[in-house]
Every structure is written in structure tokens, then in C-alpha cells.
């Protein structure tokens, strides 16, 4: 099976970026858990699981196309933030960066006329729109509640209800 080397290269970079993202969100989860914000920590742990599943979706795609996966070392991630709002603003900025990376993968696939890869990447494009929207929604809530302890407590309890659903499995 012929798999375009340029597409393979950009998808490999994305696999590694997704694993780095997972590592970042796990770091955020740890930070929040240490602050006693178990609901916020849960939300980030689910993000960790989602990013891992995204990396594996790309990983499996590369292999299915006869390509070679090249895993790189995971670079160090941030471990300290100034506030809950700072964490979610960092999350939003990071998701915007990931969106740009996915768009780049898509553009490379189109340039190389790898329509199968472009089709697969459409799922990621849609997913990134949702990721950015979710982060912005929490930022808006945090702006609204400010430093109001009872309101933060309620938001923490709400975020504790989030569960991981592997959307990549339904998308195969």
C-alpha cells in the first residue's frame, strides 16, 4: 500500500503533539487536584484521555495505511498556573494551536492528493471546533463567578460529572 511520505511525516508530528497535549492536561489535572479542586481536575483528566485517544486514532491510521509511526520524547510541560482561569485560558490557547496544526495536516493531505487522509482529518477539524468551544464556555463561566467561593464550588461539582467517552471509536 502506498502512503505518501509527506502525509506520514505531518501525521507523525500530530501523533506526538496529541500525546504532548495529553501530558499537559494531566499536569493541569494534578495541579488542580492538589488545590482541592477535584471537579476541575476531573475535567482535565478527561481531556487527557481524549487527547490520548486522538493520538491513537492517528497512530492506528498511519499503521493501517502501511506507514511507520515514529514516537518522539515528550517535552516538558508547564506545571504551575496563577489561577483556575489562567489554566483554562492556557487550555483555549493550546486548543487554538492544535487547531492550526490539524489544519496544516489537512492542507498537506490535500496538496499531496491524499483524500483518504483529508477525509479522516475532517473528524479532527470538527473535534477541534468543539474543543475550543468547551474551553471558552468554562472561561466565560469563570469570568461570571469570579472569586465567589460558593459559585466556584458549584462549578467544580458540575465539572466532576464529566466522563470520558471515546468518540474516536464511533468515528471509525
Query: What is the domain count for the chain?
Result: 1
- Collapsing DSSP to helix, strand or coil, 4 comes out as coil
In a structure prediction context, what are the per-residue pLDDT tens digits for the chain, which is 172 residues long? 578 999 999 999 999 999 999 999 999 999 999 999 999 999 999 999 999 999 999 999 999 999 999 999 999 999 999 999 999 999 999 999 999 999 999 999 999 999 999 999 999 999 999 999 999 999 999 999 998 999 999 999 999 999 999 999 865 5
Q: Please count the other Cβ atoms lying within 10 Å of the Cβ belonging to residue 58.
A: 25
The span from the CA of 107 to the CA of 67, in Å, is: 19
The span from the CA of 23 to the CA of 104, in Å, is: 22
The span from the CA of 49 to the CA of 142, in Å, is: 23
Which of 70, 49, 50 shows the shortest CA–CA distance to 59? 70
Which of 27, 166, 148 shows the shortest CA–CA distance to 87? 27
- Rounded to the nearest integer, the mean pLDDT of the chain is 96
Which of 132, 162, 145, 144 shows the shortest CA–CA distance to 29? 162
| Integer angstrom CA distances of residue 109 from 37, 128, 131, 172 | 41, 18, 22, 19
Q: Which domain holds residue 106?
A: 5-170
Q: In CATH, what number is assigned to the domain containing residue 34? A: 1.20.1260.10
From the CA atom positions of the chain, what is the Rg in Å?
17
Residue 24: CA count within 13 A, CB half-sphere: 21
Judge if pTM exceeds 0.75.
Answer: yes
Amino acid at each position: 500500500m502506498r502512503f505518501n511520505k509527506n502525509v506520514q511525516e505531518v501525521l507523525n508530528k500530530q501523533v506526538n503533539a496529541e500525546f504532548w497535549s495529553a501530558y499537559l492536561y494531566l499536569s493541569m489535572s494534578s495541579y488542580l487536584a492538589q488545590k482541592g479542586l477535584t471537579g476541575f481536575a476531573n475535567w482535565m483528566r478527561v481531556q487527557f484521555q481524549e487527547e490520548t485517544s486522538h493520538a491513537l486514532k492517528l497512530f492506528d491510521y498511519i499503521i493501517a495505511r502501511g506507514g511507520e509511526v515514529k514516537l518522539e520524547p515528550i517535552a516538558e510541560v508547564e506545571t504551575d498556573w496563577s489561577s483556575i482561569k489562567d489554566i483554562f485560558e492556557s487550555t483555549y490557547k493550546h486548543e487554538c494551536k492544535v487547531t492550526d496544526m490539524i489544519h496544516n495536516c489537512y492542507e498537506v493531505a490535500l496538496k499531496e492528493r491524499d483524500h483518504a487522509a483529508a477525509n479522516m482529518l475532517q473528524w479532527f477539524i470538527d473535534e477541534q471546533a468543539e474543543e475550543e468551544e468547551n474551553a471558552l464556555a468554562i472561561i466565560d463561566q469563570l469570568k461570571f463567578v469570579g472569586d465567589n467561593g460558593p459559585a466556584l464550588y458549584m462549578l467544580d461539582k458540575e465539572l466532576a460529572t464529566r466522563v470520558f467517552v471515546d468518540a474516536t471509536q464511533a468515528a471509525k
